[in-house]
Chain A
Amino acid sequence: MLTIDNLHVSIEGKAILNGINLNVRAGEVHAIMGPNGSGKSTLSAAIAGNESYDVVKGDILFKGENIIELAPEERAHKGIFLSFQYPIEIPGITVTNFIKTSINSNLKARGESNMPANKMLKKIREKAALLEIDSKFLSRSLNEGFSGGEKKRNEIFQMAMLEPSLSILDETDSGLDIDALKIVANGVNKLKNKSNAIIVITHYQRLLDYIIPDYVHVLHEGKIVKSGGKELAHELEEKGYDWIK
């Protein structure tokens, strides 16, 4: 589904990623771990198409197509979803209106007509229930005044609504207490199936107790320095990141 080949990315001339190679197939869960500043968030931003990040070299192939030149919205239309580490607060747009606009924009890009209002409402209710989101929450301004846990649940709620082929969860566990973490992880697990894939980006092993990865990759100074199975996460937890440096 996703093939990253020798990806070099820099911000304002400063090299952050120095030749990433990664291959993610449908049905797989990959975890990318690494210390602060290792380039984890840069990798997720580069896959999602953030224009502040310059791809200097290398390719990102999604479902066989090179997406390097595509705008963020075009990548979203193809089925890439990024759960933000720091979801943006947008006063004046409600959660419901935001997700409606998002869904209909995606449908439109695929040449389909808007989702009928009753179908939309039903889906919103169903997915909100999955993440134990109160209906009052849906009429609040997007992320404004949300707690850390609410923001992250809202991200996974959007993922549930959009049903992407590839989801990148950027530090979804940060700012979550154990209860919220369980709700979020449970939501993600329910959304996982044979035809989609998930990349979990995290600093700690904690989230991986709930979302079990098939592969774990360790990022250090912009490169994947070690890959392995889920046991690698435990090893890292025990030995710390100094071990791989």
Chain B
Amino acid sequence: MQLTEKLISSFLAFELDIDIHSDIHNIRTNAIKKFEELGFPNKKLENWKYTSLNRIIKEDYTVFSKKKNVIDFKKVKDYFIDNIESHKLIFVDGFFDPFLSQTSHDGLDICIMSAALSKPKYAKIIEKYFNKSANLEDSLTCLNTAFSKEGAYVHIPKNTVLEKPIEIIHFATGNEAALMLQPRNLVVVEQGAEVEIIESHQSLTVNPIFTNSVTEIFAEKNANIDYYKIQNDVVTSSLVDNTYISQKRNSDVKVHTFSFGGKLTRNNLNFFQKDSSINSTMNGVTIIDYDQLVDHHTLVHHANPNCESHQDYKGIYSGKSTGVFNGKIIVDKIAQKTNAFQQNNNILLDNKSTINSKPQLEIFADDVKCSHGCTIGQLDQDALFYLRARGIPKKEAKALLTYAFANNVLESVKIPELKIRVKNIIAKKLGVSLGFDL
């Protein structure tokens, strides 16, 4: 059976099996109808021109893991950030793992979606925010909504500055021959509150995994959010990450995406500025090889005056890997004094590596500063010779130049332990041991 049919037919069984409010039931039913109508996106769609899901959806995925699998902390210890105190929301094959997690209800809620969708005490927040910023016309988002059941639920009340970051990890054990996962996360940060979140998806075997994730983030007035996505999964796992961010006045949201792994990774990152004086930042470093593909589709909708957006994506491609950057910026007529900056720089290390880079600016206001820039090149041979002439071996010199290239994005990481983690992943990817710090 095709995956599309399999998903649609399992929807009913799924609905019968779940304990939720009737409103959610309606949202879900509408969502599956929409998915049935649209199906999986194909290359005929402008937004999917460079990325085909065909090789991913041809697998015979189990749509739900049949049983809860338990994993030993020792086995997965390395996937947690070292030497850091954090709240932890850990999921294994789509189920919440209470042993690996550290939830909190201490004046705030760092817990799970299944509870939020079913327990009365969360009903107000769910009613106000759930599925409210997600794109109701996007087939994969609808698919996730139809099956939304589990994921991270974070609610930070007014003026609360979270001291410890939140780590969200979605593990796949590989106990199923092939598994599809659809985590659904909701993050609500109330007025003046601050939070840092680190999210990753990690498969523990080479059995195919296809994750279709949706995260909705709401930043109320003066809220501050740093969201880090560490995409360093094995090369048999694929991820479509749909993230929707809705911001209110004076809020500042930064999403940092580090894409090093996976077979196919598609990031749909959407920012909606719902008021004035908002700051939105998107940073990314992509380093891939073999036949990996990483596709960044960003959208910033400037719908109010005096707002800013900053995008800085760096990509380094080896082997037969492919990168896509599509940065869409919409500036409404009312959104005067908008500052929107977009930068996408790429290095192709091999003849067979590809990058498709496309800025898409739709500007209807006249008093704005908008800029976009894109470069595609190779490592500078003169710079390489300069480093080598100082005794730095070729491999290390290349690594050093790669670091230098990605440095300003790395510098945006505010958690020192996380910065070290990212640097170590990069060093490992480049096959060098670091004789230098940045």
Contact = CB atoms under 8 A, between A and B. Distances in A.
B316 to A, nearest CB: 13
A228 interface: no
B13 interface: no
Contact of A101 (B382, B400, B405, B406): B400
Interface string B377-408: 00011110111111111101100110111111
A75 B392 CA distance: 11
B437 interface: yes
Contact of A92 (B382, B387, B394, B438): B438
B49 to A, nearest CB: 32
A48 interface: yes
Given A97-B438, A100-B436, A76 B389 contact: yes
B435 interface: yes
Given A50-B385, A52-B381, A82-B389, 20 more contacts: A48-B389, A72-B385, A72-B388, A73-B389, A73-B392, A73-B394, A76-B388, A76-B389, A76-B391, A77-B391, A81-B389, A84-B389, A87-B386, A92-B405, A92-B407, A92-B408, A93-B400, A93-B438, A102-B392, A106-B391
Contacts of B393: 71, 73, 105, 109
Q: Which 4 A-B residue pairings sit nearest by Cβ, starting from the closest?
A: A92-B404, A92-B407, A76-B391, A72-B388
B435 A49 contact: no
Interface of A: 48-52, 71-73, 75-77, 81-82, 84, 87-88, 90-93, 97-98, 100-102, 104-106, 108-109, 114, 158, 162
Interface residues of B, number: 28
A88 B390 contact: no
A58 to B, nearest CB: 21
Nearest to B395: A73
Contacts of B394: 71, 73
B433 to A, nearest CB: 10
Contacts of B392: 73, 101-102, 105
A71 B388 contact: yes
B427 to A, nearest CB: 13
B391 A97 contact: no
A51 B391 CA distance: 15
Nearest to A103: B391
A93 B438 CA distance: 7
A138 to B, nearest CB: 14
A114 B436 CA distance: 11
Interface in B246-291: none
A67 B407 CA distance: 35
Interface in B118-141: none
B390 A76 contact: yes
User: A75, A82, A105, A114 — which one has the most chain B CB atoms within 10 A of its CB?
Assistant: A105
Contacts of B438: 92-93, 97
B396 A105 contact: yes
B390 A102 contact: yes
A81 B436 CA distance: 21
